[in-house]
Chain A
Amino acid sequence: MSEREKSLLKETLVQVQDLKVHFPIRKGILSRGGGSVYAVDGVSFTLNEGETLGIVGESGCGKTTTGLAVLDLIKPTAGKVFFEGKDIARMSHSGLRELRKEMQIIFQDPYSSLNPTMTLNQILNEPMRIHKAYQGKQRAERIAYLLEKVGLTSEQGRRFPHELSGGQRQRVGIARALALNPKLIIGDEPVSALDVSIQAQIINLLIELQQEFKLSYMIISHDLTVVEYICDRIAVMYLGRIVEMARYGDLYRNPKHPYSEALISAIPVADPRLNRKKPMLLGDVPSPIRPPAGCHFHPRCPKRFAGCDEHSPELKDIGGGHWVACHLV
Chain B
Amino acid sequence: MKKVFAAPNGPSPLLHLNNVRTYFYTVEGTAKAVDDVSFTLNKSETVGLLGESGCGKSVTALSIMRLVKDPPGKIVSGKILFNGTDLLQVSSSRMKSIRGKRIAMIFQEPMTSLNPVYTIGDQISEMLVAHENMSKRESWERAVDMIAKVQIPVPEKRAHEYPHQLSGGMRQRAMIAMALACKPEILIADEPTTALDVTVQAQIIDLMLELREEFGTAIILISHDLGVIAETVERIVVMYAGKVVEEGSTLNVFDAPKHPYTRGLFKSRPKIGERSRYGRRRLLEIQGAVPNLFQLPGGCSFNPRCVEAIDACRETSPELIPMGENRMVRCHLANT
Contact = CB atoms under 8 A, between A and B. Distances in A.
Interface of A: 58-59, 165-168, 195-201, 203-204, 222, 224-226, 228-229, 248-249, 252-253, 262-285
B10 interface: no
Nearest to A168: B289
A252 B198 contact: no
11 contacts: A58-B198, A200-B268, A204-B282, A225-B227, A225-B272, A226-B270, A268-B201, A270-B254, A276-B231, A284-B168, A284-B197
A196 B206 contact: no
Contact of A271 (B1, B168, B199, B254): B254
Interface stretch (B181-189, B273-281, B313-321): B273-281
Given A222-B198, A270-B230, A272-B251, A200 B283 contact: yes
B53 A224 contact: no
A279 B169 contact: no
B1 A278 contact: yes
Contact of A282 (B203, B227, B290): B203
Contacts of A195: 52-53, 224, 289-290
Nearest to A58: B197
A281 B199 contact: yes
Contact of A272 (B200, B224, B230, B264): B230
B269 A200 contact: yes
A268 B230 contact: yes
A225 B290 contact: no
A268 B268 contact: no
A204 B230 CA distance: 25
A267 B270 contact: no
Contacts of B280: 229
A275 B269 contact: no
Contacts of A225: 227, 269-272
B167 interface: yes
A266 B225 CA distance: 14
Contacts of A278: 1, 206
Pairs of residues from A and B, 5 with the lowest C-beta to C-beta distance, nearest first: A268-B227, A165-B289, A200-B268, A229-B270, A58-B197
A51 B91 CA distance: 63
B253 to A, nearest CB: 8
B226 interface: yes
B94 interface: no
Contact of A270 (B226, B276, B284): B226
A264 B3 contact: no
Given A59-B197, A284-B168, A228 B250 contact: no
Contact of A196 (B231, B268, B271, B272): B268
Given A196-B224, A197-B268, A228 B283 contact: no
A168 B292 CA distance: 14
Contacts of B200: 58, 284
B67 interface: no
B221 to A, nearest CB: 12
Contact of A284 (B169, B270, B272): B169
Contacts of A198: 286, 289-290
Contacts of A275: 1-3
Nearest to A266: B202
A273 B255 CA distance: 9
B230 A279 contact: no
Nearest to B55: A195
